[in-house]
Amino acid sequence: MAIQSNQELYTRLWNGAEQLRGSMEAAKYKDYMLGIMFYKFLSDKTLQAFSETAEIDENVYETYIGYASDTEVMKEVYKALIEDLGYYVQPNDLYQTWLKNIANNTFEVASIENAISNFQRNVQQSINRHDFDGLFSSLDVNSPDLGSDLNKRNKNLRSLIKLFADLDMTELQKSDVLGDAYEYLVGQFGMESGKKAGEFYTPRQVSEVMAQVITNSTNNIRSIYDPAVGSGSLLLTLARHLTNADKKILQYFGQEYNTATYNLTRMNLLLHGVQPDHMTINNGDTLRDDWPEDPNNPQQSRQFDAVVMNPPYSYNWSQGTDSAYSEASLTDPRFQDYEALAPKTKADFAFLLHGLYHLDQNGAMAIVLPHGVLFRGGDEETIRKNLLKKNQIHAIIGMPSSLFTNTGIPVVVIILKKNRVLNGEKDVLIIDASDGFVNDGKQNRLRERDIAKIVDTVSERKEVPGFSHLATLKEIEENEFNLNIPRYVEKIEHEEVQDVEGHLKGGIPKYAIDNLTVLNKLCGEELNNSFNEIRPGYVKQAVDNDELRNRIFKSTKLEAEKKTYTAAISSFEERWFNKLAQVDAAKNIEDLKTEMADEAKQQLSIDGIVDPYSSYQVIANLWNDNLTIDIELIQKYGLITAGRALKQLYKTKKKNNQSIQVEDGQEGSLLSKKLVQQHLFADDLSHLQEVQNSVENAQSEMEQLIEDGKSNDDFDGLIFSEGELLSKKDQVKVKDLDKTADADAIEWLNSYADKEKERKIENKKLSELTDSLDKKTFSIYENLSEQQITDMLRIKWFDSFRDDIINLLSNKIDAELNDLKNLADRYDETLADIQAEKKKIEDEFMELAAQLVEGDPNGR
């Protein structure tokens, strides 16, 4: 494979999935694609383990196949594989064998059925067999969803199998790329599946909030549990925020009612490198059957350091004759201390209490639920009251609406602990984060800055006006244990204040000027000197807007602040460029990103002027746009190799007789063609741009001729037909026209022909220059020096970054200058001015009306 980043791999797989699935629903197709992908993983792991056992490095597949006929040898091989892996795939069932049969046109759908059947039988020898039982039960290769007949199903499966043909799953798993690719596909299928996605997918940004809050709230996490585990994304996101040492000993537990989703969970965990003996996933009804038990204390519940959950909202747990609700009672130890059961049509508190029951005394829990649990009455109020009196609700986070594909309603994340008294925590932190998002199509999405603000607020348990409040139990009691967020956090509304005296008598209220905090802080003297007091408490602008702006930006204090800020930006850039360009291959990218963003939050903010989370977001954008992909490439291949990668890609394309053109953003290009040309071939690029402009000018003039010609009726039938330009073969020829009668048409045709010829000449020149410049560019890639690579990389990473950061300050100033202009316009006219203008208009109207009456011939 060519050098490529993780994101490019994910996109390639998803594009392949989109092309192959046709009209099949995403929710169904995911079972086939993810199941086939997982089988490739099992095959590759089998061959890797065989290679290590047999101590061979070459022709591993051929050797494994060659042993297939020797029963005694294979018994020993299979025994070793079971001990090493806990499973194996037989030689004739390997994914590589499928590919070979596809190439020979001997592949059959039955090959997949037989392979899965053999795998399930063989894995029964393993002590971890329960982790593999029924793993492929959702992969029905005979389903008409795959095709209306056997031939169509065969064709579709072959195409799907070939999609993963060149992926070395064992290599990809080493750096967690494989698991992340699988997680990416699960997320994409979740978004495509709409309402059905809620069965298996929690949006990444919601998972991040829960995971970061939990890992910041409790120490020594050794076991994690999700009673409504879905695809396992919450467990994996939480694990991602633990140290490598903690992850090695971490135990994953989860339960899932839907069998297809249960299979998805196990595949997801295994692909992320979770060892079978570190995962215990159960297929069952969480509310009906309390699970899991403590293996050391039968009949006692197992408890966990962290519990995370996104259960189905307001689930009716009384459905069916043998429902979970019909079996529930207050003798159940999960519910007995809370004096009530969750209502039969709303199981939200049943899920919450189940998770809380399995939480260790020193652990932390996060659960996503609808807002109704905060204020509904009846049994839910009773449960809520007991949770509060037991001091088990740590924080409530109100999230924006439309974060989930399966519901548009806003949800809350509730953080719970059993033993808050030990930390002296009694108040409930209530956060209204409902306004912190960006719109992304039909969904809303939390930005990195929104996540960071929520996590920091919970970690520091701080009150932020309009965002968070620490509510005492007394305060909550006074609200009758109603936790509806607006009762505790009042939004800050930025309404335009209308000053009555200012409108009546004119003049800007002085308090409105004083409220411009940024301008007053940075250039208060210049601001005040630009206004004259016209009466106590009211001022009028003494200079025009341009002069005012000029005074503001030349303020000594502002220039000093900008100089200090620019120096901080330069220092930050220098430190982080060196750190990233020389990044250690073993350094975790998420840790790097968090460290850089946290540092920006501290060092690139200005108290009361530049919000720390604004600079945090600039860093997050930098990672999303460039750094994540680039750092992956540098870690994998080194700075020099990754910097010269486009040359290698060009040679590959040339060898395959493909076009010489290599578009910007091709996989593996640390330095794009355009960036290299701008840096090393600026004159050539400038010349090329001049010719490009000539082409565009000629094209523009041709289009203008067409527009002019459309409006000439004499051209209809000769050059145009119903406003459309005729093709050349249908147009009248100049030689067939009369020089006198058709002079305009002759002139138009000649002008158009001249411009068309000019465009062709310039286009040819453009093509030749482009090819020449591309050849020069490609020829230099393999000889790029380290200095050239780092110079261009600095431009790529930090040129726009500097502007983005400094704009955080400039935009604040511009916003208040705009507010100032609006204030001046608002109070420019007094009531007397308006009345005088009204009187003038009325007088003019009466005068006009009088003239109309005098001029009426009938005297009316």
Q: Write the pLDDT tens digit of every residue in 722-741.
A: 888 988 888 888 888 888 88
- pLDDT tops 50 at residue 205: yes
- Nearest residue to 225 (alpha-carbon basis) of 294, 293, 309, 348: 309
Question: Model confidence at 653, in pLDDT bands (50, 70, 90)?
Answer: very low
Name beta bridge partners: 254. 226, 281
Question: Could you tell me the two tokens for 190?
Answer: 């979740």
Helices (H) and strands (E) in the chain, counts: 33, 18
- pLDDT tops 90 at residue 186: no
- pLDDT tops 70 at residue 764: yes
Average pLDDT for residues 584-589, to the nearest whole number?
86
Predicted pLDDT of residue 858: 56
Three-class SS of 726-762: CCCCCCCCHHHCCCCCCHHHHHHHHHHHHHHHHHHHH
Q: How far apart are CA 487 and CA 203, in angstroms?
A: 28
What is the torsional sign of CA 683, 685, 686, 691? positive
Predicted pLDDT of residue 176: 64
Predicted pLDDT of residue 396: 98
Average pLDDT for residues 646-671, to the nearest whole number?
47
Q: How far apart are CA 650 and CA 662, in angstroms?
A: 7
Q: How far apart are CA 345 and CA 498, in angstroms?
A: 49
Q: β-pairing, 359-370 with 428-432?
A: unpaired
Average pLDDT for residues 312-326, to the nearest whole number?
89
- pLDDT tops 50 at residue 654: no
Amino acid 473 reads L
Predicted pLDDT of residue 4: 56
Q: How far apart are CA 88 and CA 44, in angstroms?
A: 10
- With H, G, I as helix, E, B as strand and everything else as coil, classify residue 398: strand
Average pLDDT for residues 486-512, to the nearest whole number?
88
Predicted pLDDT of residue 854: 55
- pLDDT tops 50 at residue 198: no
Average pLDDT for residues 288-310, to the nearest whole number?
88
What is the torsional sign of CA 784, 787, 791, 794? positive
Question: Model confidence at 145, in pLDDT bands (50, 70, 90)?
Answer: confident
Predicted pLDDT of residue 740: 82
What is the torsional sign of CA 727, 729, 734, 740? negative
The answer to whether residues 528 and 829 touch, using CB atoms and an 8 Å cutoff, is no
| 489 φ/ψ angles, rounded to the nearest 5 degrees | -120, 110
b/e burial code for range 437-452 (CB count within 10 A of at least 16 → b): beeeeebbbbbbbbbb
Q: What is the model's pTM?
A: 0.83
Tens-digit pLDDT profile for residues 522-537: 999 999 999 999 999 9
CATH number corresponding to 1-175: 1.20.1260.30
Q: How far apart are CA 201 and CA 191, in angstroms?
A: 9
Place of tokens 């051209």: 715
- Nearest residue to 132 (alpha-carbon basis) of 143, 142, 117: 117
Predicted pLDDT of residue 650: 45
| 194 φ/ψ angles, rounded to the nearest 5 degrees | 65, -125
Question: Model confidence at 116, in pLDDT bands (50, 70, 90)?
Answer: very high
Using only C-alpha atoms, the chain has a radius of gyration, in whole angstroms, of 35
Range name among 172-176, 295-299, 598-602 with the lowest pLDDT average: 172-176
Tens-digit pLDDT profile for residues 213-245: 999 988 889 999 999 998 898 999 999 999 888
Question: Model confidence at 856, in pLDDT bands (50, 70, 90)?
Answer: low
Q: How far apart are CA 445 and CA 436, in angstroms?
A: 9
Question: Model confidence at 67, in pLDDT bands (50, 70, 90)?
Answer: confident
- pLDDT tops 80 at residue 401: yes
Q: State the average pLDDT for the chain.
A: 88
Rounded alpha-carbon distances, angstroms, from residue 581 to 176, 182, 578, 627, 638: 22, 29, 5, 10, 9
Amino acid 725 reads L
292 upstream amide cis, omega within 30 of 0 = yes
